Amino acid sequence: MYCKQCGKEIPNDSEYCNFCGAGQNFKSKYQFSYKERWLALSLTIL
């Protein structure tokens, strides 16, 4: 499977990403995906 936050491949039974530390079982309102962060950054720059 792939990390929901950074997109790197991690073991299927991982609760947390080995690379960025993001939890994989839920998405809190403050945890954004890689694409969501870049979109927010792009809109902020404009």
pLDDT greater than 70 at residue 30: no
Mean pLDDT along residues 9-38: 79
Question: Which one is predicted more confidently, 3 or 26?
Answer: 3
pTM: 0.49
Mean pLDDT throughout 9-26? 87
Please report the pLDDT score of residue 7 as a whole number: 92
Higher pLDDT, 16 or 25: 16
Which residues, other chains included, contact 23 with Cβ-Cβ below 8 Å and sequence gap of 6+? 15, 16, 31
Structure tokens at 16: 């947390």
List the domain boundaries for the chain. 1-46
Q: Dihedral of CA 23/21/18/32: which sign?
A: positive
- The more confidently predicted of residues 45 and 46 is 45
